[in-house]
Amino acid sequence: MSNGDMDQGKQREPCAETAFSDIASPIVDKAIEQANGVASDPSAEGLHQLRITMRRLRSLWWSYRPLLDAGDNTRQRDLFRSLADSAGKARDYDILIELLKLQHKKGKVLPPEFSGARQEALDVGREVLSNPELKTLLLDALSQTSGSLVARQDRQPLQTFSDSRVAASEKQLRKRVRHAAKAKRSDVAAFHDVRKAGKKARYLLELFGPVLSRPHRKTLIRLKKIQKRFGALNDVVASEKLLRDNASLLAAISEPERTLKWFRKERDRRLRAAAALLRK
């Protein structure tokens, strides 16, 4: 191969800066489509899927953080987090209701306050996500970040960049796993940090998977196990907090102290299960 052919080969190798738009655009388009769906026909599942898409965007912007202005990157990631939170409220009530049904076991009908709170969260999520400015905000974030990256003088091969950022997310996950393994069983925040780091690593593996220098199939399988078990723990912790933060809902339950006691026991059981997975 001549030197000219080698140079052309290097030029054809995709770089991280120009590849960003190709990776991010379909996700942004999906978010806009999901938001339009929520606006026309809101459902807790539709909002949940939109929340996942926002989290994927936040992880992608995190991966490109070393190449971007820190302030702009933080603001954009905060936007995605805020939208994800707005999209997730109704889903949070669904999880709480399912756990309360699990506690009762005999199919006891919950007070109407719960369905009312869920509907209110659904309406709020719809109002926020049906705002016409949402599309503009997402497209502006995409345009600004793409423009900043393309304007950079330096270029990094996409594979090298992807490998390094996936490695950084995995390193962060290992650090949080070690911390949680040493933490007291009551340190729920440490376990929550593992869950968040696991999600980020999983999203990046899925986003960059085709260009990584080696397969990560086994890692993805482990991350899915972490997400499932730690997600089950988070469901109980978040639901208990949601119940405690809503005095009217707690008062509507016939035996509130008994319910809170059940949540504590269930939280401890799921904490043990999460800790057991860390030891493996």
The tens digit of pLDDT for each residue in 218-252 reads 999 999 998 999 999 999 999 999 999 999 999 99
Domain ranges in the chain are: 15-146, 157-280
How far apart are alpha carbons 58 and 83 in whole angstroms?
A: 11
Q: What is the pLDDT of residue 27?
A: 97
Question: What is the pLDDT at residue 5?
Answer: 44
Q: Answer for the pair 235, 101: CB distance below 8 angstroms, yes or no.
A: no
Cβ–Cβ under 8 Å, residues 140 and 53: no
Cα dihedral across residues 177, 183, 185, 190: positive or negative = negative
Using alpha carbons, select from 113, 85, 154 the residue that is nearest to residue 247: 113
Q: What is the Cα–Cα distance from 190 to 183, expressed in whole angstroms?
A: 7
Rounded Cα distance between 114 and 67, Å, is 46
Through-space distance between the first and last CA atoms of the chain, rounded to whole angstroms: 49
The pTM score is 0.89
User: Smallest Cα–Cα separation from 97: which of 44, 154, 41, 35?
Assistant: 44
Residue whose C-alpha is closest to residue 64's, from 143, 162, 144: 162
Under the banding of pLDDT at 50, 70 and 90, the label for residue 6 is very low
* pLDDT score at 2: 45
- Under DSSP, the state recorded for 65 is G
Statement: residue 9 has pLDDT above 90: no
Positive or negative torsion for Cα 107, 112, 116, 117:
negative
Whole-angstrom Cα distance, residue 122 to residue 43? 7
Going by the DSSP 8-state scheme, the letter that residue 159 receives in this structure is: H
> How far is CA 62 from each of CA 158, 207, 216, rounded to the nearest angstrom?
16, 12, 20
Q: Is the pLDDT of residue 107 over 70?
A: no
pLDDT in tens, 15-28: 999 999 999 999 99
Query: What per-residue confidence (pLDDT) applies to 86?
Result: 86
pLDDT at 44: 81
